[in-house]
A and B are shown apart, each in its own frame.
Chain A
Amino acid sequence: MSPKHIEDMYDAVIVGAGAAGLSAALGTLRSVEIRGLLDAGIEPKILVISKLQPLRSHTGSAEGGIAASLGNVEADDWHWHYYDTVKGGDWLVDQDAARLLAQYAPQTVINLERDGVAFSRTDDGHIAQRRFGGHTRDFGGEPVRRAAYAADRVGHQILHTLWQQCVAAGVEFAEEWYVTDLALDADRSRVAGVVAYDTHTGDVHAIHARNVLLATGGAGRLFHTTSNSWDLTGDGMALALAAGLQLEDIEFVQFHPTGLAHTGILLSEAARAEGGVLRNADGEAFMATYAPEHRDLAARDVVSRSIMTEVDAGRGVADPKDPNGPKDCVWLDMTGIDKDHMEAVLPQVVETIRKYASIDPATDWVPIKPTAHYTMGGIPIDTEGRVYRWSRDESGNTGRNVVEGLFAAGECSCVSVHGANRLGGNSLLDACLFGNRAGLSMAARIAEHPTADPAGDEIGQADDEAYTALDAAATARKDEVTALLSRDDGADGEIADDNPYQVLADLGRVMERAVAVRCSADTIATALDTLQDEFRPRTNALHAHSDMAAFNQEITAIWESRHLVALAEAVLKASDARHESRGSLTRLDYPARDDERFLAHSMSDRDGILWQPVHIVDYPPKARAY
């Protein structure tokens, strides 16, 4: 679906159509303000641009649940959810945001149900809930059933329901369009729009907008082994960096301990909950050494770290599909689980193993490897979804400077509810809840001076400069597309043979070696050198191998590879700057958490890193133990 024509000016452009982008679109359209405009006969011009058809978004792959203290199956309290979220994030969580997350979670889940999500049900017809790692009662006590679920496909249910409601609301989409530039005014204080590339035609469009919301998802493709889809290339984050904005806590990437070897496809935690045991090359059940009490069911980051320690000590095994490859996997032994029981309670896990590893888990051990799963960090936003820059002037005054009209939501953003490690069930919640909030605050801005308001256009003049810059950026992209498509652009033989798919594969391996699960100053420095010496020149030299623009996937892949290289550099530099280990970040050279110096968010941009204090409201930092 493509728009019939491009408006001169949009009230709002939303980039990305997963749970966050669609929630924001619905939040905007259903707001009191927008309904008021519609009643007055003023039609807001809103466009959702996404590089995939919305139903293909990665939200659809979320399996487990969405956390909310509904208390449908046992007593629960949003304060407990709030506490668990803060603790799970190793106290690098902004508590005002986490408080909102827990407090409004029940409303969010109920609204999703009323929009049509086919949640699993209790016998009396309420939304069913299940246990999830790290969710407890009484501030760290017994496990509590808090994750609302829809069999093992709640993400699919939520994604489809949100899209369906967008169909009902008449949302306009530009599908399979790729945003290449985010345009701000000269002092980075106001948004002017985006440049978008229509992959169907190869046309470049300057999209003028008074409000822009980025909801482009995560960046799992930084790593060779990831549970993320091929499209999660950190585009929104890279756009923000390129526009001179910051990324917050970008060094924190969650690795799920049990990806199916090199495929990265997730095998649910349930496999271990039902009795699966991790074993090293010697067959030893090593988790007993690292977490004597919780063993194989310790927190995600703890298990991932233990696996990597075994691998680093030479006790890993190769992926049987690549027997001569690196010994970077360990075994998941499910043979102790009764075969019939396994089929009954782990159907998805068993099917995935059979289909993608051609192994029968009832008789054979399964190769697994930690898989890049979620980027906790991202574009800094406040609790209303507004993007800001953290600044520090000469006299040491610090503060948040909101970029007028620019919003973000979901995995590409960082409102800092996940801190240094996300709790299961909180990602869909973050995307839907803060997506909706961002949509609401965008609606309030739209209503102040809608583009279609016949009463006048008094902000026209002030806009000129920024919009001229946007048009210039679009022209530059047009020229770039032409250059990328012309094969004889002075590239010599070797470089002409290179392609973005090869670059992405190679980059994934470099990042994997450098910072997957653990890192040190040495591994980071090596990777930074490689980026500078090898990947910058390679991505700059890339050309398309077909001169036909329509559906030329190589063009977008080239931009994606450049985005990932820029983002990789930010991840590496932020990892380097944090001299402590916290949550998902393990510095082998700084193994302890250091609240004195690093109870702070890293704020990275092209110029360097500033530190923003964490918002501590109710729960002072404690040791994080399970």
Chain B
Amino acid sequence: MSGMDDAPTTVTLRVNRFTPRPERDRGSRGGSPFAKKGGSPFGGGASRNRRPRGKQWTQDYTLSVRPQDTVLDCLLTIKRTIDPTLAFRYSCGHGMCGSDAVSINGTPTLLCTATVAQWARHPNPLSPTDDEGFRHTGDGADNKGDPEASDMQTDGLGLIELAPLPGFPVQRDLISDIDPMLDQIRKLKPYLQADGVLATTSEGKADVFEYLQNPQQLAKYEMLTNCIACGVCEGSCPVFAGGDAFIGPAALIAASRFVNDSRDTATAARLDAIDTQDGVAACQSVRACSRQCPRGIDVGEEMWQIVAKVKER
């Protein structure tokens, strides 16, 4: 059956790795009591925004694959047969749990839905970038633009570059700290606020029925309930940078989900809560957030809609 393009071949995964320095080596250096917290003139001073310190390097793994294997399949093979120390989150393996968002070739997406065929590429000698993703334009001694220098891995399917999800502090290898996103989602009261008391029963009969909601009312927010809080939209957003400047598309999607739910009675308060400098005002309508949503939510359009709702109030 089928089998047209699934002959075994090879691919090289280039992984941006990071190992944090042990806690005891970091810490404060004692020192001046005048420089305690909030020392940075750039505000915040929250430790979560501190750039993590540790050892950073890139590592190449070349393995035998089929084009339709997922990148997660490849990483699991690496863990099993090459390097059990490589760290990355994963759980369900089919795009539902939202735990494995990373950056693949610079694009935020899920490991388990990305296939080798889709992402492997041969380095383009005309526009080489360095490990940091910068393109050298000068004539530095370390010019990597020389086609001779980029001949590694030209056989097989080529190269896939993996890095942790942008916008969040890296914790180890491909694992990043997405708590800032969850904190922002939590801040906007992401739970149904309806008017009723929960049903109780004797004899198994429901004596109070469910809230009624017709299919048209459901359709107004159903798509938004599909969000799996993976963080891909946040990692794609050029405004969201993990700080307090923008509450982020994921939190706004969660807020919008309840604003559009006919059962919810807190619409006014919800719109007030996002009508802030770090709320809808911070969205610049770039719409990069829509591109890779693994649940197919047009995040950018939803942002637009919720901005309109805030303004129309």
A residues at B contact (CB < 8 Å) = 1, 30, 52-53, 55-58, 60-61, 70, 78, 102-107, 109-111, 113-116, 118-127, 150-151, 153, 156-157, 160-161, 164-165, 167-168, 200-201, 229-231, 263, 265, 320-321, 331, 352, 355-360, 364-365, 367, 499-502, 505, 544-546, 548-554, 557
Contact = CB atoms under 8 A, between A and B. Distances in A.
A271 to B, nearest CB: 16
A321 B22 CA distance: 42
A549 B198 CA distance: 45
Given A116-B191, A365-B1, A52 B99 contact: yes
Contacts of B310: none
B269 interface: no
B91 to A, nearest CB: 4
A500 B192 contact: no
Given A58-B92, A201-B23, A320-B1, A110 B97 contact: no
A57 B96 CA distance: 10
Contact of B171 (A111, A126, A551): A551
Contacts of A358: 2, 5-6, 68
B32 interface: no
A500 B211 CA distance: 49
Given A121-B215, A320-B2, A230 B90 contact: yes
Given A60-B96, A110-B209, A116-B191, A121 B2 contact: no
A366 B198 CA distance: 46
A121 B87 CA distance: 42
Contacts of B46: none
Contacts of B93: 229-230, 263, 265
Given A55-B228, A118-B222, A156-B226, A113 B211 contact: yes
B6 A551 contact: no
B265 to A, nearest CB: 12
Given A52-B91, A168-B191, A502 B206 contact: no
Contacts of A167: 186, 189-191
Contacts of B261: 116, 118
Nearest to B94: A265
Nearest to A264: B93
Contacts of A357: 2, 68
B80 interface: yes
B43 interface: no
B6 A501 contact: no
30 contacts: A52-B97, A52-B99, A55-B98, A60-B92, A61-B94, A106-B206, A111-B198, A116-B194, A116-B263, A118-B221, A118-B261, A119-B210, A125-B214, A156-B228, A164-B191, A165-B191, A167-B189, A167-B190, A229-B91, A263-B93, A357-B2, A360-B2, A364-B1, A501-B79, A505-B80, A544-B85, A548-B20, A550-B171, A551-B175, A552-B85
B186 to A, nearest CB: 5
A106 B3 CA distance: 48
The 8 lowest CB-CB distance pairs between A and B, nearest first, are: A116-B192, A103-B204, A125-B212, A551-B172, A164-B191, A499-B84, A546-B85, A501-B80
A298 B297 CA distance: 37
Contact of A121 (B190, B192, B199, B218): B218
Nearest to B222: A118
A205 B223 CA distance: 41
What size tier do the contact residues of chain B reach? 35 or more
A58 B172 contact: no
Contacts of B208: 110
Nearest to A365: B1
A164 B227 CA distance: 13
B31 interface: no
Contact of A114 (B87, B179, B210): B210
Given A265-B94, A359-B2, 16 more contacts: A55-B228, A55-B229, A56-B91, A57-B97, A58-B97, A70-B206, A110-B199, A110-B209, A116-B194, A124-B212, A124-B214, A125-B217, A229-B91, A358-B68, A360-B2, A364-B2
Nearest to B183: A1
Given A126-B212, A153-B226, A167-B190, A106 B2 contact: no
Contacts of B229: 55
B40 interface: no
Nearest to B3: A320
Interface in B64-110: 66, 68-70, 76, 79-81, 83-85, 87, 89-94, 96-99
Contact of A118 (B99, B175, B190, B225): B225
Contacts, number: 204
B92 A113 contact: no
A502 B81 contact: yes
A109 B209 CA distance: 10
A65 to B, nearest CB: 15
Which among A153, A331, A551 has the highest number of chain B CB atoms within 10 Å?
A551
B10 interface: no
Contact of B215 (A1, A123, A164): A123
Contacts of A58: 91-92, 97
A551 B179 contact: no
A167 B186 CA distance: 7
Which among B98, B99, B204 has the highest number of chain A CB atoms within 10 Å?
B204
Contacts of B218: 118, 120-121
A320 B6 contact: yes
A61 B92 contact: yes
A57 B228 CA distance: 11
A30 B85 CA distance: 43
A485 to B, nearest CB: 11
B201 interface: yes
Interface in B19-69: 19-20, 22-23, 66, 68-69
A126 B210 contact: yes
A535 B5 CA distance: 38
A104 B215 contact: no
B313 interface: no
Contacts of B205: 106
Contacts of A550: 19-20, 22-23, 171-172
A200 B218 CA distance: 39
Contacts of B66: 321
A364 B6 CA distance: 15
A355 to B, nearest CB: 7
Interface in B133-172: 171-172
A500 B85 CA distance: 11
B41 to A, nearest CB: 28
B99 A56 contact: yes
A24 to B, nearest CB: 16
Contacts of A61: 92, 94, 96-97
A594 to B, nearest CB: 34
Given A56-B91, A116-B192, A104 B97 contact: no
B203 interface: yes
A584 to B, nearest CB: 23
Nearest to B20: A550
Which among A113, A263, A365 has the highest number of chain B CB atoms within 10 Å?
A113
Contacts of A263: 93-94
A104 B68 contact: no
A507 to B, nearest CB: 13
A500 B91 contact: no
